Structure 1
Amino acid sequence: MKVINFYTSDGEFGCFSNFSRHSIFLKGKSWPTTEHYFQAQKFAGTEHEEEIRYAKKPLKAASMGRDRNRPLRKDWEAVIDDIMREAVMAKFTQNKELKPVLLNTGAALLVEHTANDRYWADGGDGSGKNMLGIILMEVREAIVAGKSRFEKGQYL
């Protein structure tokens, strides 16, 4: 099986990174990157959500989202993956130039390859969960199947 590793927002598969500069439109608002949206949803319905949306760079949005002085929503652990699915689906269906990049990966295994993260990435040694890679593959499968969004219980 072909494996495609990605991490940074540059290079051939840089658009797979949540830091890539591709805006999305969700919840009636424009978000500069999927990272902005994802981090802001930790504080949905609060002033922190908007502060993060207006962060100048995705790294700043990530830093703000990880700041535990901000009150994390109580259901965060239950919704974390679905929020990422929503953001990634929006990114690859709303930015038409990105869809072929994802679809042209065919059946390749997509892996966010870094030692910096054991949940969203592979932990650098393959022992991480690689949830971002898994979600990208789910979105790829959904797009091939003609779906523009996830339905409860599908592609999970």
Structure 2
Amino acid sequence: MTIYFYKVWQPFGCFSNFSTHGIEIQGTYWSTVEHYYQAQKFVGSVDAVIIPVIRAAKTPEEAAALGRCTSRRLRSDWDLVKISVMREAILKKFLTHLDIQATLLSTGNEILVENSPTDYFWGCGVDKTGHNHLGKVLMSVREEIRNLQLSNAISPKICPQEYKV
């Protein structure tokens, strides 16, 4: 069974970048993955001054609107790095918040699909022909967390503090 997610108040809403599961990356706290992702669009660009404004946005919707403003110039390598930026944030989110990590792992090997009717890159789009990169990132993170748990479970426990991840 494929698992579709989109709005934070729907089942599996914790998979949304708008869910209120903050992350800390490189010593900076971000209220949501959406805040972090939108701000990263401007790192090193002439419009980098918008980054603290995005970080301070009261809601993920506000952060998204600030990051999607077409009058600002994105960093030159954005198309090359945006998936890895998203993956870093999502991995951090699910390693930080064990409750939603359990939800992610509970999906087994099911296909995860962001059911966005308008986003054909991160989601599946209204006609389900989109690339679903967000779902793919989540499935990749799910697998990485499983592998981390497995490697911790089979590591020798002679001196446990040496084997913590």
User: What is the TM-score with the length of structure 2 in the denominator?
Assistant: 0.85
Deviations 1:91-141 (A, max 9, x none): 100111111000000000000012210000001222000000000000000
Q: Quote how far apart the aligned CAs of 1:9 are.
A: 0.7
Q: Which has the higher helix share?
A: 2
* Runs of 4+ residues deviating >4 angstroms: none
CA distance in 2, matches of 1:119, 1:20: 19
CA distance in 2, matches of 1:100, 1:121: 23
Q: Secondary structure at the match of 1:97?
A: helix
Q: 2:137 aligns with which of 129, 135, 138?
A: 135
Task: Determine what percentage of the aligned residue pairs are the same residue.
Answer: 46
Deviations 1:8-31 (A, max 9, x none): 011320000000011000121000
Q: Secondary structure at the match of 2:41?
A: helix
Count of residue correspondences: 146
CA distance in 2, matches of 1:44, 1:95: 26
Please give the residue correspondences for 1:1-156 in structure 2 after superposition, counting only pairs within 5 Å.
Answer: 2-45=1-44, 46-146=48-148
Instruction: Give ranges in structure 1 of 5+ residues lacking alignment.
Output: 148-156
CA distance in 2, matches of 1:26, 1:70: 24
The amino acid across from 2:24 in the alignment is F
- Give the aligned CA root-mean-square deviation in angstroms: 1.1
The amino acid across from 1:146 in the alignment is L
CA distance in 1, matches of 2:74, 2:116: 25
Q: Secondary structure at the match of 1:25?
A: strand
CA distance in 1, matches of 2:98, 2:106: 13
Instruction: Give ranges in structure 2 of 5+ residues lacking alignment.
Output: 150-165
Tell me which structure has the larger Cα radius of gyration.
2
Deviations 1:55-113 (A, max 9, x none): 00000100000012222101100001000000100110011111100000000000001
